[in-house]
Amino acid sequence: MSFRFERHQGTATGPRRGTLHTPHGAMETPAFMPVATRGMMRGILPTQLEELGSRMVLANAFHLYARPGVELVQKLGGVHGMLAWDGPILTDSGGFQVFSLGALGKVHADGVRVEHPVYGGSIDWTPQLAFETQAGLGPDVAMLLDVCPAEPLDQKKCAAAVERTLAWARIQRDLHDARGGAASGQAQFGIVQGGVFADLRERCAQALVDMEFDGYAVGGVSVGEGHEAMMRGVEHSTHVLPVDQVRYLMGVGTPQDLIEGVARGIDIFDCVFPTRAGRFATALTDAGRMHLLNAKFKDDDRPLDPGCPCAGCVSGVPRGALRAGFKAKELLPPILVSLHNLHYVHDLMRRMREAIEAGTFEELRRRVLAAYLPEKLAGDPS
């Protein structure tokens, strides 16, 4: 099956229901993708992912290039073999990670000079290398290498990042064409940069649309600009993007950001947040975030989230035992809460899909925002 997005309902700038078809199967949207940065989920078995509601998984091309390397990944069956995952996979080019490694001062016209994260020394991570790496790894969707501005509130820096992002986009788009485009079995998404500035976002989005990518991402968000500014960056982008193509908001995954992204026309998301929060003893519930290290949970004999069917909650390990286990640095509590959080986020996406179909999205949005904005702790008197 080839790559295709089917829009069932919704507009360019409001909540949308769709199906993303890939060579490794379809995914109903809006949807969330869990993150296996180095080709493995932390503490979650590949066989558990589908049970939790995962359909498409994200891995990071830059990290897989660094270790174990493209040749070894190919010997292990490509990125699908390495993850032991037959469903769709998207790889990020590593643009965001490269810049978060502190390489920003080393961006040059042809690429980014960055320290090798495993062996030291330097790598010139270029648009060509990002493209070839992803062509070799074999995900269903490859992301462009873009330039992520470190300061999304600095107009001059954002403008420079947009221009370089577009120059690199052209190079990678031509390489994609030469390889046969999406018919090669791999789709390619452009990434809209431009920080919080409407004119920059619009210019970047329009120039990418003119290059005709297989899908589009909104990048350079969730880098410290705050929720409101992030959502303005989304709004400045989505109205320019083609209504019938898939839109992906990168690196976003708190319940409030997910529902506000969907409200503005985003179809897919990825984020380490649900599993990272789980490792740090924070559970996501309909009543808000639950911080399990809080002393009030020490003799709480209830399951993590009563009524939740996930393996973490069904295990029956009570809140007080999770708290004690976290304090003792046991392995199991981070796994159980990660399982729960991933299930929670996937289930929230399922509820969004159903609410869009039923015409009750705004009602769900109000409920989620009441629990998550401003941050509210589960069990606190309201």
Residues binding Zn ion (CB under 5 A): 305, 308, 310, 312-313, 340
Q: How far apart are CA 121 and CA 56, in angstroms?
A: 33
For residue 321, the one-letter residue type is A
Q: 264: which 2 tokens?
A: 């503005």
Q: Tell me if residue 92 is catalytic.
A: yes
347 is catalytic: no
221 vs 310 by CB, closer to Zn ion = 310
Residue 377 forms beta bridges with which residues?
A: 289
CB of 285 to Zn ion, least distance (A): 9
Structure tokens at 208: 């990418």
Strand partners, 370: none
Identify any residues that bridge with 191 across adjacent strands, giving them in sequence order. Answer: 217
Quote the least distance from Cβ 357 to Zn ion, whole Å: 24
Question: Based on CB atoms, which residue is closest to Zn ion, 61 or 313?
Answer: 313
The verdict on whether omega for the bond into residue 88 sits within 30 degrees of 0, i.e. cis, is no
Other Cβ atoms within 10 Å of 63 Cβ, number: 18
Distance (Å) of CA 262 to CA 30, 74, 140, 170: 7, 35, 23, 29
| Through-space distance between the first and last CA atoms of the chain, rounded to whole angstroms | 50
Written as one string, the DSSP assignment of 259-290 is HHHHHTT--EEE-SHHHHHHHTTEEEETTEEE
Based on CB atoms, which residue is closest to Zn ion, 144 or 345? 345
Q: In a 3-state reduction of DSSP, which class is residue 24?
A: coil
Closer CB to Zn ion, 260 or 305, in the complex: 305
Q: Residue 354 Cβ, how far from Zn ion at the closest point, in Å?
A: 19
95 C-beta neighbours (distance < 10 Å), count: 27
Decide: 211 and 259 in contact? Cβ < 8 Å.
Answer: no
Query: Among 62, 70, 136, which Cα is nearest to 100's?
Result: 62
Nearer to Zn ion, 313 or 322 (CB): 313
For strands 215-218 and 187-192, give the pairing: parallel
Nearer to Zn ion, 48 or 155 (CB): 48
Closest approach of Zn ion to the CB of residue 314, in Å = 7
Min dist CB 344 to Zn ion, Å, is 7
The CA distance from 286 to 292, in Å, is: 15
Q: Tell me, what amino acid is at 142?
A: A
Q: Which is nearer to Zn ion, 281 or 308 (CB)?
A: 308
- 89-92 vs 288-291, strand pairing mode: unpaired
> Three-state DSSP class for 188?
strand
Which one of 140, 214, 270, 347 is the catalytic residue? Answer: 270
| Least CB distance to Zn ion at residue 274 (A) | 11
Q: Tell me the closest approach of the beta carbon of residue 297 to Zn ion, in angstroms.
A: 15
Instruction: Tell me which residues are annotated as active site.
Output: 92, 270
